[in-house]
Amino acid sequence: MTNFETLRDKYACPCDESTMYEPFLLPVKAEGMKVWFDGDPEPYIDLVLGYSSNNFGHNHPLLVKAAQDAAAKIAQIHSFHTKDKLLLSQYLADKVSKEQPYNVYFDIGGTSVVASAIRLCRSYTKKRYIVCFDGAYHGASQLGASVTDDGFIDKAQYVINNVSDFVIRLPFPGKHTDVTTDDSIRQLEEAIQNNDVAGVIVEPVQGANGFIFPEDDFLPRLREVTESNEVMLIMDEIQVGLGRIGHFFAYQKWGIVPDIVVLSKSLSGGFYPLSAIIARPQLFNSVSSNATAFQSTFNNNPLGINIALKVMEFIENENCLENSMVKGETLLHKLSFLEDSPYISNLRGEGLAIAFDMTEKNAPNQPSKKYAKKLKDVALDEHLIIYSCGRNGDVIKLAPSLMIEDKDIEFIVNKLKIVLEKAGLI
């Protein structure tokens, strides 16, 4: 009999996210929010869902059918438009704005389109600096890492590449932090005055940092400053877009229109690692097409694009945005018991992006990675998959399926009550 744990120790990468959980578990089947592991007949409830890659749960029948149909058409072809690509481009461009034109490029993975967005800003403006924010996560490629918070990626691993060159990092004015919009905007204006700033990249709601929601006036003021100074504004919607907070694009909650939007994760329902960059035409036009600067072997992939087009129909037809908003409000209300714990503070959420902070006992301003890990580990023992995140490793995020039902909410709430009691945190 094959010993898979031995295979892991001998052959698997030892520094990826599989180190997050200590028990050795092999997933063999998934459906909705349920995941079955090898040798265990009882399913686990997945509240991570591939960091929101599976926004609609695992293997929704309609999306499985879409993936099967797509695979029977064209899996891969290069250098040709397809009907689906043009239709999906139109759909996404119109979602950003029907009044202003946008072009769309499709690639593989979120970090690739982040790198492309930065390249577009620099190419179009002929300026160098990119502004990002504390607590941001934009990927692990060299350009992605350059605008990712140091708490998530150790920049020393890049050795000869100084990935922080021409990057300015500013404080993010979260609702539960001591940073104000005035603080952040003032520093942005100073950065623009003193440097040749090409663009600003921001998550409308910070994902990896623990669903950190900005002050309500931040994004409108950020858009005002960037626009008046001809600085490009990139919205990273990779984790919180496509319905996670109840809006198609999360930034739409604040009524703004950016220059660039980047998407990935749930764009193709978790069936394919499709990503997209949606940008104003003049930005793409600043890059020469002669050297095919925007290219990769699997760019504009017909399989991923066909699935994504069906995902867009699914979002519209299944009322995903409304369900996210309504069920999220119900779940957040029913989780209010969490704040009775002396180890928990800042329960927050909108739509189905919900999080809370683990702290030292009766010390809401002292983050505790230790208690976050304890809660995560006990939850796994109880067949509930959650994870700890944030710059300090102290945040617990809950990202259930946008298709969640009332019975699922009751199960999750009751399960978390059991976990909190067994962890001795109540």
pLDDT 10s digits, 234-248: 999 999 999 999 999
Write down the pLDDT at residue 165.
Answer: 86
Of 44-58, 76-90, 287-301, 305-319, the poorest mean pLDDT is in 287-301
Contacts for 11 with CB less than 8 Å, ≥ 6 apart? none
Of 5-9, 52-56, 266-270, 291-295, the poorest mean pLDDT is in 291-295
Q: For residues 46, 49, 50 and 56, what is the CA-based torsion angle, rounded to 10 degrees?
A: 150
Tens of pLDDT, residues 163-177: 678 999 999 999 988
Q: Cα(115)–Cα(117) distance, rounded to whole angstroms?
A: 5
346: helix, strand or coil: strand
Write down the pLDDT at residue 296.
Answer: 86
Are 108 and 275 in contact, with CB atoms under 8 Å apart?
Answer: yes
Are 96 and 102 in contact, with CB atoms under 8 Å apart?
Answer: yes
pTM over 0.75? The answer is yes
When the pLDDT of each residue in the chain is averaged and rounded to a whole number, the result is: 95
Write down the pLDDT at residue 219.
Answer: 98
Report the pLDDT averaged over residues 207-215.
97
**pLDDT above 80: residue 391:** yes
User: 292 pLDDT band (50/70/90 cuts)?
Assistant: low
Report the pLDDT averaged over residues 185-195.
98
DSSP E strand stretches across 32-78: 34-37, 44-46
Reading the block at residue 65, the tokens are 């059918």
Q: What kind and span of H or E run contains 261? A: strand 260-263
**pLDDT above 80: residue 291:** no
Of 191-205, 212-226, 277-291, the poorest mean pLDDT is in 277-291
Are 134 and 169 in contact, with CB atoms under 8 Å apart?
Answer: yes
- Domain 4-56+319-422 fold is Aspartate Aminotransferase, domain 1 (3.90.1150)
Q: CA–CA distance from 77 to each of 70, 108, 297, 311 (Å)?
A: 13, 14, 9, 21
Residue of 377 and 147 predicted with greater confidence: 377
Q: Cα(243)–Cα(318) distance, rounded to whole angstroms?
A: 12
Q: Cα(271)–Cα(67) distance, rounded to whole angstroms?
A: 7
Write down the pLDDT at residue 151.
Answer: 86
Of 91-100, 147-156, 163-172, 201-210, the poorest mean pLDDT is in 147-156
Are 109 and 116 in contact, with CB atoms under 8 Å apart?
Answer: no
Q: CA–CA distance from 297 to each of 77, 106, 292 (Å)?
A: 9, 11, 12
Tens of pLDDT, residues 109-134: 999 999 999 999 999 999 999 999 99
Residue listed under structure tokens 């304890």: 374
What is the crossing angle of helices 83-96 and 302-317, to 10°?
50
User: 156 pLDDT band (50/70/90 cuts)?
Assistant: confident
User: 288 pLDDT band (50/70/90 cuts)?
Assistant: confident
Tens of pLDDT, residues 329-365: 999 999 999 999 999 999 999 999 999 999 999 999 9
User: 144 pLDDT band (50/70/90 cuts)?
Assistant: confident
Buried b (16+ CB within 10 A) or exposed e, 313-335: ebbeeeebbebbbebbeebbebb
DSSP code string of 327-343: HHHHHHHHGGGGGGSTT
Are 38 and 44 in contact, with CB atoms under 8 Å apart?
Answer: no
Q: Is 46 exposed, middle or buried (0-12, 13-18, 19+ CB in 10 A)?
A: buried
**pLDDT above 80: residue 293:** no
Every domain of the chain with CATH number 3.90.1150.10 lies at 4-56+319-422
Are 275 and 299 in contact, with CB atoms under 8 Å apart?
Answer: no
DSSP code string of 267-287: GGTTSS-EEEEEE-HHHHHTS
Q: Cα(241)–Cα(247) distance, rounded to whole angstroms?
A: 7
Q: How far is CA 59 from the centre of its chain?
A: 20
Residue listed under structure tokens 């919607």: 237
Q: Cα(132)–Cα(188) distance, rounded to whole angstroms?
A: 10
Pairing type for strands 44-46 and 384-385 reads parallel
Q: Cα(9)–Cα(262) distance, rounded to whole angstroms?
A: 36
Query: What residues pair up with 44 in beta bridges, in sequence order?
Result: 35
Are 70 and 306 in contact, with CB atoms under 8 Å apart?
Answer: yes
- Domain 65-317 fold is Aspartate Aminotransferase; domain 2 (3.40.640)
Q: CA–CA distance from 357 to each of 21, 256, 304, 394, 416 (Å)?
A: 19, 29, 36, 6, 15
Q: What is the DSSP letter of 19?
A: G
Every domain of the chain with CATH number 3.40.640.10 lies at 65-317
Q: What is the DSSP letter of 390?
A: S
Are 419 and 413 in contact, with CB atoms under 8 Å apart?
Answer: no
373: helix, strand or coil: helix
**pLDDT above 90: residue 162:** no
User: 154 pLDDT band (50/70/90 cuts)?
Assistant: confident
Reading the block at residue 90, the tokens are 């139109």
